Every structure is written in C-alpha cells, then in structure tokens.
C-alpha cells in the first residue's frame, strides 16, 4: 500500500469550510487505497495574529514563550481536521510534534529537526487511521516546545515523509505549483512542471515562500519524492527533482525577492586586521544571523562595513548596536529597513557567461539602483530599494523570457 504525506498550508485550512474540503480530499486519497499522514499549518493568518498579540505586550518576547504561543495555531487546525474526517466516516487522530517524537535543537523560533521517531505514527496507521500531525513544531531535549521558523510546516511534512520512507510528499497550497516568479507579482509567471532541488533550495532560501528551504534540503538528502500543488483544484503541480533527471536546464529558471531583510552600515571602522572577526563574533554571540556582507575600499585607514539581516531580529540588534560600535571602534551606524533582495536562479548559469551583465544592464535601463551584489554558481542576488522590488522582478522576468518556460 502506498504511503502519502499530504501537507495543507494556512490558506488551505483558512476556515472551517476549507478544512472540510481538505478532509474530503484526504479521505478520497485514503479510499483510493493509500495510507495517509497529514501535516497541517495554522489556520489562515493565525500565526501572524499570535505574534502580533505578543508584540502588544512586549517588544522582545522570550523566544521560549513565543514557541509555546505560536505552536498552538497548528493544534487548532489539526484537531478540527480530525473532526472533519470523523464526520466523513474515517478514523483519524491528531498528534502534536512532541507526540510523534520530533526532536529538535534548542534554538527557539528557528529550531532544526534532529530526529523523528515515527513509531506512534506507524502504530496509528496500522490501526487504519489517517494521522494528522501539527506542522512547524517539535520539542528539544529538555521537552520544551520549539518551532522551525516561519513556513516550517513544509519541513515537518518532508521530514516525516523521510522518516516513514513515504512514496510521495504532496505540499498543498494556494497556487498551482512553483512558478518562474511569485504569480502575485508577475502576472504572466509560468508554472513549472519540474524544478531541481538545487534551484528550489536557492529560490526558497532567497525568499520564494512557496517551500520552506529546509524541506527541500530534506527531500534532496533523503530522496523524498516531493511535489507542490493546489488544494483548490486537481492540476498536476510541480515536481522537485534530481538534476540528472531534467533534460534541459534554462539559464534562469526563477526570480525571487526577499523583502524581510534590513541593511546595517557601520561607518568609519578602523581598517585593521581582526576587526571583521570581532564584529561578526559579537553578532554570533547574540545569535544574529547575517546574510550579505560588504566592506568598502579603505580610505585613510578607515572603512565602512555593511551587512544585511532579518528585519524581525532588529529589536534585538538595536539593543546591542552601541556595544557593537564600541567593539569595532566605529564612528556611527545607519540602518535601512526598506530594502529588497532580488535574485535570479538557474542551473544553466553554470555554463553561460554574461548573465550578471544582462541582469545589471536591464536593471539600469529600468532605473533601479543596486547597492549590494552577491553571486554563487547558480544565482545572482542584488540588494535594491524596497519600492523598486516588484518593477525589477517584472523587468527581469521579461528580460530572461521566463514566460517561455514550462
């Protein structure tokens, strides 16, 4: 009997009618003869609302308590979905991350899964039940609830599929699959039939919300057959596949933007050996994740260092900025919270030259200023002004003719 893990995202369980619709789809799959494990997200904007409430109480909530709080959202949708399945005449049981043995490290609000012990899930499946698991959460070795970072239910689903050696992991969401760009920004974005793990991992890490980056890592590492499809229709969706299984690699397969970062510049830092080490050690001490870094050319023994980081971590950073300035003896700092990181991704870039030039020229023509650049073998990212982000995405989508892909 095939074992399928189905994950339903927030919009797909956004209200009780949508939960009933999801239940119908799940029961239909079970009645076709498969064993089904379901992973659910919190209903609609529940997680945002919970975070908002915490912020009304404190600027810097305890991250342990944040996890206690936000993990409740998934428990609501899991229990309601179990009830909806009971109504349709099938056995179902909802279980939390702790109950299904998802152990994580202790980095609250962005924990990583260390281990899954799927015995409980297997026992319930053997009783003929549909097993529903709360996404996005686990417990650390002290038994405290942890969460996996925003969008983390995808990772729960793929990790469970890996642990159970499932035949397929289906991510049901509010779009028909993975597109060449966010279809909400680019109207003629094309749905891709398939995309490689490497490309999907880059797109997800660089802001394409459609899959959580860690879920793609798990799928690649443990060979989990993974697809993204709509919970509102029956169209085929997008398969995430091994590079070797794809016949042709376009130079660019997708474009994405990330508006969740901020740029901090430390001005007039003495240009002496060890300064960067001191600065980034201090940031690491406070668990601040840094993304891009740029150091300017030195002038009269001084330089400026800019870095980008997640804007959600700004309140914590602001608390230590004075200490940072002292640590590196910088004159002052500036903060820009209105930036966007725009990235083009494609395996074909490995064997093509001139992609960066084409991207920069096209942005220049559209009067979009670039303030930072970073590249890897299969991606080019530029930091631009936040207000230019949608226009720049559309311009590049046209420039690289992504509407011609499939």
Spell out, one character per residue from 335 to 364, where the chain touches ligand ADP: x when CB under 6 A holds, - when not. Answer: ------------------------------
Q: What angle do CA 211, 358, 356 make, to 5 degrees?
A: 60
Closest approach of Mg ion to the CB of residue 9, in Å:
5
Which one of ligand ASP, Mg ion, ligand ADP, none interacts with residue 73, CB within 5 to 8 A by kind?
Answer: ligand ASP
Q: Does 151 bind Mg ion (CB under 5 A)?
A: yes
Side-chain half-sphere CA neighbours of 117 within 13 A: 8
Closest approach of ligand ASP to the CB of residue 2, in Å:
25
Which one of ligand ASP, ligand ADP, Mg ion, none interacts with residue 47, CB within 5 to 8 A by kind?
Answer: ligand ASP
Q: Which span sits near ligand ASP by CB under 6 A: 91-99, 144-152, 177-185, 270-278?
A: 144-152
Closest approach of Mg ion to the CB of residue 209, in Å:
6
Q: Which span sits near ligand ASP by CB under 6 A: 22-30, 58-66, 116-124, 149-157?
A: 149-157
Q: Does 10 bind ligand ASP (CB under 6 A)?
A: yes
Q: Residue 154 or residue 304: which is nearer to ligand ASP going by CB?
A: 154
Which one of ligand ASP, Mg ion, ligand ADP, none interacts with residue 332, CB within 5 to 8 A by kind?
Answer: none
Q: Residue 129 or residue 253: which is nearer to ligand ADP going by CB?
A: 253
Residue whose Cβ sits closest to ligand ADP: 9
Q: In what order do the strands lie in the sheet with 379-385?
A: 254-258, 339-345, 379-385, 370-376
How many positions of this chain bind ligand ADP (CB under 6 A)? 20
Q: For ligand ADP, which residue of 3, 5, 6, 9 counts as binding (CB under 6 A)?
A: 9
183: left (phi over 0), alpha (psi -120 to 50) or beta: alpha
Q: How far is CA 373 from CA 145, 198, 310, 343, 383, in A?
A: 38, 20, 17, 10, 6
Range list of H helices, 184-228: 197-205, 213-221
- Which of 77, 74, 80 shows the shortest CA–CA distance to 97? 74
Which one of ligand ASP, Mg ion, ligand ADP, none interacts with residue 97, CB within 5 to 8 A by kind?
Answer: none
Closest approach of ligand ADP to the CB of residue 20, in Å:
17
Q: Residue 5 or residue 175: which is nearer to ligand ADP going by CB?
A: 175
Residue whose Cβ sits closest to Mg ion: 151
| Residue 240, strand partner residues | 195, 226
Antiparallel, parallel or unpaired: β 254-258 and 339-345:
antiparallel
Are 166 and 227 contacting, i.e. CB atoms less than 8 angstroms apart? no
Q: Residue 172 or residue 239: which is nearer to Mg ion going by CB?
A: 172
Give the 3-state secondary structure percentages of the chain, helix then strand then coil, rounded to 5.
40, 25, 35
Q: How far is CA 144 from CA 105, 109, 141, 237, in A?
A: 10, 12, 7, 37
Spell out, one character per residue from 362 to 401, where the chain touches ligand ASP: x when CB under 6 A holds, - when not. Answer: ----------------------------------------
Q: Residue 228 or residue 405: which is nearer to ligand ASP going by CB?
A: 228
Cβ contacts of 92 within 8 Å, gap of 6 or more: 81, 82, 85, 86, 129, 130, 131, 132
CB count, 10 Å around CB of 195? 28
Query: What is the longest distance spanned by two Cα atoms in the chain?
Result: 77
* Burial class of residue 192, CB neighbours in 10 A (0-12, 13-18, 19+): buried
Q: Does 178 bind ligand ADP (CB under 6 A)?
A: yes
- Which of 137, 144, 109 shows the shortest CA–CA distance to 310? 109
Q: Which span sits near ligand ADP by CB under 6 A: 25-33, 90-98, 207-215, 369-377?
A: 207-215
Q: Residue 239 or residue 307: which is nearer to Mg ion going by CB?
A: 239
The sign of the CA dihedral 321, 327, 332, 336 is negative
CB count, 10 Å around CB of 280? 16
Q: For ligand ADP, which residue of 3, 10, 124, 216 counts as binding (CB under 6 A)?
A: 10
Q: For ligand ASP, which residue of 25, 108, 110, 150 counts as binding (CB under 6 A)?
A: 150
Contact set for ligand ASP, span 34-93 (CB under 6 A): 41-42, 47, 73
By CB under 6 A, name the binding residues for ligand ASP.
9-10, 41-42, 47, 73, 135-136, 150-153
By CB under 6 A, name the binding residues for ligand ADP.
9-12, 41, 151, 173-175, 178-179, 181-184, 208-210, 254, 256
């Amino acid at each position: 009997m095939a074992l399928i893990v189905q994950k339903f995202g927030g919009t797909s369980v956004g209200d009780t009618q949508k939960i009933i619709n999801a239940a119908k789809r799940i029961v239909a799959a079970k009645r076709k003869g498969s064993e089904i494990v379901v992973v659910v997200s919190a209903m609609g904007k529940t997680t945002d609302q919970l975070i908002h409430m915490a912020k009304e109480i404190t600027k810097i909530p305890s991250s342990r308590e944040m996890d206690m709080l936000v993990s409740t959202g998934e428990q609501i949708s899991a229990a309601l979905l179990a009830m909806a399945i009971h109504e349709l005449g099938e056995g179902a049981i909802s279980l939390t991350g702790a109950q299904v043995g998802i152990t994580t490290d202790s980095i609250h609000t962005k924990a990583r899964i260390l281990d899954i012990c799927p015995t409980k899930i297997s026992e319930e499946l053997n009783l003929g039940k549909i097993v529903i698991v709360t996404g996005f959460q686990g417990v650390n070795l002290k038994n405290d609830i942890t969460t996996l970072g925003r969008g983390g239910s995808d990772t729960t689903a793929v990790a469970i599929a890996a642990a159970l050696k499932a035949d397929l992991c289906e991510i049901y969401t509010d779009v028909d699959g993975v597109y060449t760009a966010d279809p909400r920004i680019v109207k003629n974005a094309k749905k891709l039939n398939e995309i490689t793990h490497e490309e999907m991992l880059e797109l997800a890490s660089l802001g394409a919300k459609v899959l959580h980056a860690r879920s793609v890592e798990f799928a690649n590492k443990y060979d989990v057959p993974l697809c993204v499809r709509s919970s509102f229709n029956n169209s085929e969706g997008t398969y995430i596949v091994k590079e070797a299984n794809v016949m042709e690699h376009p130079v660019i397969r997708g474009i994405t933007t990330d508006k969740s970062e901020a740029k901090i510049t430390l001005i007039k830092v003495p240009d002496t050996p060890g300064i960067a080490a001191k600065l980034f050690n201090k940031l690491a001490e406070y668990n601040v994740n840094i993304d891009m870094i740029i150091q300017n050319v030195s002038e009269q023994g001084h330089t400026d260092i800019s870095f980008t980081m997640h804007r959600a971590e700004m309140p914590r950073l602001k608390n230590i900025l004075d200490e940072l300035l002292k640590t590196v003896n910088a004159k002052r700092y500036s903060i820009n919270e209105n930036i966007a990181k725009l990235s083009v991704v494609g395996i074909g870039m490995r064997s093509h030259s001139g992609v960066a030039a084409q991207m920069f020229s096209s942005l220049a023509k559209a009067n979009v200023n670039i303030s930072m650049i970073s590249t890897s073998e299969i991606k080019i990212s530029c930091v631009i002004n936040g207000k230019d982000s949608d226009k720049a995405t559309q311009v590049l989508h046209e420039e690289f003719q992504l509407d011609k892909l499939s």
